[in-house]
């Protein structure tokens, strides 16, 4: 999995478990890490021409968006980031991030994982650690990894609006098309070889 980790330092609002969370995710995945002083312009410049499977935010959140070093990153900016990098999932490991996550999936992002309410920093870190550990077992099953770590206590949610299913269906259809083309090529080769052999026998 290619993961963009966004972990801004926010003045007067430290998250002590941030580095532990990053250290738990990064060794087993192909990660780009944007941490420390992360204003919106730095984040947008960093992702120029990049593609990721997941964008993972480690920060504070609210209905208005997620907090970067220079203020709130609005859902519309998050959407621009997600579309530009063509991600499959945005993981908002931030308190009360349901509304921004819903905005993302309502506007075409395949899926989002959100924290529905205020969550302890260490609990959020453990959730992320277990989620990415599950992905090392089966990197293609994002929903399966979510189901494995969801404690069903109302804290964590998977949001999709069907976009994730449609993405998977498109991938399967692509594989089917590739198989059909390969089969046709093999049959064509066999027919050509048989015709050449018959020509040589008759002449």
> Domain limits of the chain?
2-161, 163-203
pLDDT at 140: 79
CATH of region 2-161: 3.40.50.1460
This prediction has a pTM of 0.81
Q: Is residue 35 within a helix (H) or strand (E), and if so which, with residue range? A: strand 30-36
Least confident window among 1-10, 63-72, 78-87, 158-167? 158-167
Q: Reply yes or no on whether the pLDDT at 51 is more than 60.
A: yes
3-state secondary structure of 90: strand
Note the pLDDT of residue 178: 52
124: enclosing H helix or E strand:
helix 121-137
What mean pLDDT comes out for the span 5-19? 94
Q: Which conformational region is residue 114 in: left (phi greater than 0), alpha (psi within -120 to 50 degrees), or beta?
A: beta
What mean pLDDT comes out for the span 41-50?
91
Nearest CA to 91 out of 68, 59, 119 is that of: 59
Whether the predicted pLDDT of 184 surpasses 50 = yes
Quote the CA–CA distance of 148 and 144 in Å, as a whole number.
Answer: 6
| pLDDT reported for residue 181 | 59
């Amino acid at each position: 999995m290619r993961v963009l980790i966004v972990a801004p330092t926010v003045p007067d609002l430290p998250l002590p478990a941030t580095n532990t969370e990053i250290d738990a995710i990064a060794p087993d995945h192909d990660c780009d890490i944007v941490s420390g002083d992360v204003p919106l312009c730095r984040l947008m410049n960093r992702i120029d021409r990049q593609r990721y499977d997941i964008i993972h935010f480690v920060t504070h959140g609210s209905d208005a968006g997620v907090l970067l070093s220079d203020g709130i990153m609005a859902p519309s900016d998050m959407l621009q980031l997600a579309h530009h990098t063509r991600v499959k999932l945005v993981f908002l490991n931030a308190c009360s991030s349901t509304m921004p996550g819903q905005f993302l999936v309502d506007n075409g992002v395949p899926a989002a994982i959100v924290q529905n309410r205020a969550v302890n920093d260490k609990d959020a870190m453990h959730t992320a650690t277990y989620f990415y550990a599950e992905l090392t077992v089966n990197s293609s099953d994002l929903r399966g990894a979510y189901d494995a770590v969801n404690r069903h206590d109302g804290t964590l949610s998977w949001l999709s609006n069907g976009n994730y299913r449609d993405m998977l269906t498109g991938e399967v259809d692509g594989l089917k098309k590739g198989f059909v083309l390969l089969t046709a090529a093999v049959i064509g080769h066999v027919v050509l070889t048989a015709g050449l052999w018959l020509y040589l026998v008759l002449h």
